Structure 1
């Protein structure tokens, strides 16, 4: 407790000492950065507040550029030459010209501070700040898109611009500009934009926009290639653009000296042409009109300085008297504060302890409630997650069943389609032939002929039924491949022996060039059926005295089996849809043998179940090559 009292007493004395020091400093403060003091010390700095406003001052990369930036650089060199004083410029950006005005207005009169950015001289501002002689006349011109014809009088103005939109910025002149236009166009539409550069950009891109802008900004826009045109009517002229200083600042002296110097007169046209181009005659003819009223102004400045000195002396006496009163008040206040703090500290400690106990109990209770609620939330979250997983699993299962049913339905439709189309025709032929035989109207030669035809039809029906069963079983996923190492040479050999009688009837030669011990991984029954169907297909579409070759070759991890015939071949259109299960077609062989249309589909299904590929290469009239692959490693 004693240590705390000592700490409070020390703090009170420290607060009193700081207040005393602040009072002394505020009384003793005198302008230390006036032009007069800087001139005596031969160096100083000036704070320059600005708003980016091309072409007057703007940032390009990491540096500043513009008319006013280069004028100030020339002024710094002029002060160095004329007064042997080194001036450093410190540029400070602000949001808008009103902020610049407020900053200069609230500054001390001899504070080294300057405001720029094409600042206009207005009667209201002259009551609060000081302006230099205008370095450039303030001329506002009416600007439109270059596609708009030149307007010579008010009638043409109404006729051409009645439906256009006038653009303006929120500055000290905007009401005057709008008023000037609405005198001629009372119903004109208006739109406010952020700055003069945006006015020029929108006029450049929109033919139905126009508005007032400063002549230097218009000239800079023309130099940059904007599609803008100055209309030679409704021009507005004011006193000009100047630099702004605190009211009564003696920094006006070196600036005015610069404006009257030969350096300024020589440099200004060069700077204007650099940023505005060569068409600056209108500006140059008015620049010197505002320079030359220095005689009376110098006398007024001296009188004002004397008045300021007397005022400062009176203020010093008043401040010293106020200092003594402040010291007494500070001592009394400090004593009262110490006693009050001691009493208040004791009460606050008692209240704090009571509050802490109550808060601790409440926090414990809230903690228990939160723990219980968190446990309930976690339990609900787990239940929701489980329900969501169950729904997802059921949806997947439903979708799987739906796809299976859809596939089974397609298989059923396909089976009925093939049975109704391809099975009915041979059965009708068989029925008709048997009816003729039963009637006994057939001769022996006719009986032999019809018996041969019936044998062909029954062979076709047998092949059709076998392929239908194999294909239906594969489609319904009732047959899975049993992959193992099989002897391809033996399978080819057996199938060639089985189909040789059929080939001999057409005088077709089957040549197997499959080496012994040629083996690969696959399902033996499936691959046997694939080889049989491909050889049977080749026999069917090979002409009499033709030749069929069977080759194998290995590449990478695959064995490629090729069945080559020199038969009728196929067109590219038929080749493209040969293995397509969605299209069913049959083609008669060279001896009018019928095809089931399912053999190649079964080949494709079985090869893919054995992790292989199947394709055809064919040229119509020259023959076909059917190839399929099997894996050499399990």
Structure 2
């Protein structure tokens, strides 16, 4: 005969069943979720903080090395920030790095985040984006390069664009400032022609190397692609050198002033030996000197 179960026993069994059926906790949120981190006010009060650091994988900037460790220019600058906070302000920062491969999702996640959340995605600082996000001081000057297949003759005069690029289609990394540049070129020289779009730099470089497209790309991506043997050419006439990259934070973040203090310390972080060493180690001597020369 089955023993009659009391109400407390039933409740215990139900709780055990639900626990067994519950999914594993999710470490990172979906693009539509909300990422969170401790506020700077909490960090001051407690002497420590847990920060969420979203990053878009990018060779040289946020990548996994041969030892399986996350590293790169952006990652190591954030680690220098954490060391500075502990050394000079006795605030211990735990950096929780979270990968987001889609750049547009990455941008939206930081916009929608709460508190101590930082984004490392080589985001160009613009006045329009300052209405949506907070930026750190610039951590690097960027050069935007117009690229084609190497068989296309170097553009010497804008008047030659229609003839030299007549067989090429415009291609853009969707959602970036490069898309704005490509649209401007298309509207000026190839009105009505559709712009093809991609969501990653590797896809963009492969398509341009096929010989059918032209596009804008950050100089470091072009440089590395050339070193890897891709048949590409840049057109210095069209290069744009007046933009800078910054780390991004949600508008509700109170970490901005502390991040500004870090970049201003010791005569300016970008003038330190640590910064130069990080650039050279992860980008290579030649490329690092090219980018450092545009400061």
- Give the TM-score category using the shorter length: 0.7 to 0.9
* TM-score calculated relative to the size of structure 1: 0.37
Q: Compute the displacement of 1:39 (Å).
A: 3.4
Aligned runs of 1:275-424 on 2, under 5 Å?
A: 275-277=282-284, 278-287=286-295
Q: Which structure is larger by alpha-carbon Rg, 1 or 2? A: 1
Q: Compute the displacement of 1:49 (Å).
A: 1.3
Kindly indicate whether the alpha-carbon contact (under 8 Å) linking 1:138 and 1:239 is maintained by their aligned counterparts in 2. yes
2:74 matched to which residue of 1?
Answer: 68
2:149 matched to which residue of 1?
Answer: 145
2:100 matched to which residue of 1?
Answer: 94
- Looking at secondary structure, tell me which structure has more helix per residue: 1
CA distance in 1, matches of 2:281, 2:39: 33
CA distance in 1, matches of 2:215, 2:283: 19
1:370 matched to which residue of 2?
Answer: none
Q: Compute the displacement of 1:95 (Å).
A: 4.5
Kindly indicate whether the alpha-carbon contact (under 8 Å) linking 1:163 and 1:188 is maintained by their aligned counterparts in 2. no
Kindly indicate whether the alpha-carbon contact (under 8 Å) linking 2:47 and 2:91 is maintained by their aligned counterparts in 1. yes
**Unpaired stretches in structure 1, ≥5 consecutive residues:** 5-30, 288-634
CA distance in 2, matches of 1:161, 1:275: 34
CA distance in 1, matches of 2:229, 2:279: 17
Q: Compute the displacement of 1:102 (Å).
A: 2.7
Query: Within the alignment, does 1:41 sit opposite 2:49 as a pair?
Result: no
Kindly indicate whether the alpha-carbon contact (under 8 Å) linking 1:219 and 1:276 is maintained by their aligned counterparts in 2. no
From 121, 144, 164, give the equivalent of 2:125.
121
Query: Within the alignment, does 1:217 sit opposite 2:221 as a pair?
Result: yes
The C-alpha deviation readout for 1:223-280, integer Å capped at 9, x for no partner, is: 4343322111222345421111122523123321221234542233333333333144
CA distance in 2, matches of 1:123, 1:187: 29
SS at match of 1:123: coil
Query: Within the alignment, does 1:160 sit opposite 2:160 as a pair?
Result: no
CA distance in 2, matches of 1:100, 1:142: 25
Cα 1:268–1:197 shift into 2, 3 Å: farther
Aligned runs of 1:181-192 on 2, under 5 Å?
A: 181-182=185-186, 183-186=188-191, 190-192=195-197
Kindly indicate whether the alpha-carbon contact (under 8 Å) linking 1:48 and 1:91 is maintained by their aligned counterparts in 2. yes
CA distance in 1, matches of 2:261, 2:127: 24
- Looking at secondary structure, tell me which structure has more strand per residue: 2
Query: Could you say what the CA RMSD is over the residues aligned between the two structures, in angstroms?
Result: 2.9
Kindly indicate whether the alpha-carbon contact (under 8 Å) linking 1:107 and 1:246 is maintained by their aligned counterparts in 2. yes
Cα 1:253–1:224 shift into 2, 3 Å: farther
Q: Compute the displacement of 1:129 (Å).
A: 2.2
Total equivalences in the alignment: 257
2:275 matched to which residue of 1?
Answer: 268
Aligned runs of 1:535-554 on 2, under 5 Å?
A: none
Cα 1:119–1:40 shift into 2, 3 Å: same
Q: Compute the displacement of 1:163 (Å).
A: 0.3
The C-alpha deviation readout for 1:486-520, integer Å capped at 9, x for no partner, is: xxxxxxxxxxxxxxxxxxxxxxxxxxxxxxxxxxx
Kindly indicate whether the alpha-carbon contact (under 8 Å) linking 1:163 and 1:189 is maintained by their aligned counterparts in 2. no
Q: Compute the displacement of 1:86 (Å).
A: 2.1
**Unpaired stretches in structure 2, ≥5 consecutive residues:** 1-5, 8-35
CA distance in 1, matches of 2:87, 2:226: 36
SS at match of 2:58: coil
1:199 matched to which residue of 2?
Answer: 204
Kindly indicate whether the alpha-carbon contact (under 8 Å) linking 2:146 and 2:238 is maintained by their aligned counterparts in 1. yes
CA distance in 2, matches of 1:115, 1:36: 20
2:3 matched to which residue of 1?
Answer: none
The C-alpha deviation readout for 1:272-325, integer Å capped at 9, x for no partner, is: 3333331445532443xxxxxxxxxxxxxxxxxxxxxxxxxxxxxxxxxxxxxx
Query: Within the alignment, does 1:251 sit opposite 2:255 as a pair?
Result: yes
Cα 1:52–1:43 shift into 2, 3 Å: same
Kindly indicate whether the alpha-carbon contact (under 8 Å) linking 2:241 and 2:294 is maintained by their aligned counterparts in 1. no
SS at match of 1:45: strand
The C-alpha deviation readout for 1:447-496, integer Å capped at 9, x for no partner, is: xxxxxxxxxxxxxxxxxxxxxxxxxxxxxxxxxxxxxxxxxxxxxxxxxx
Q: Compute the displacement of 1:158 (Å).
A: 2.5
Aligned runs of 1:479-518 on 2, under 5 Å?
A: none
SS at match of 2:176: coil
Kindly indicate whether the alpha-carbon contact (under 8 Å) linking 2:280 and 2:288 is maintained by their aligned counterparts in 1. yes
CA distance in 1, matches of 2:282, 2:232: 17
Cα 1:220–1:208 shift into 2, 3 Å: same
2:110 matched to which residue of 1?
Answer: 104
CA distance in 1, matches of 2:37, 2:234: 49
1:83 matched to which residue of 2?
Answer: 89
CA distance in 2, matches of 1:275, 1:165: 33
CA distance in 1, matches of 2:150, 2:263: 36
Kindly indicate whether the alpha-carbon contact (under 8 Å) linking 1:162 and 1:188 is maintained by their aligned counterparts in 2. no
* TM-score calculated relative to the size of structure 2: 0.75
Kindly indicate whether the alpha-carbon contact (under 8 Å) linking 1:97 and 1:119 is maintained by their aligned counterparts in 2. no
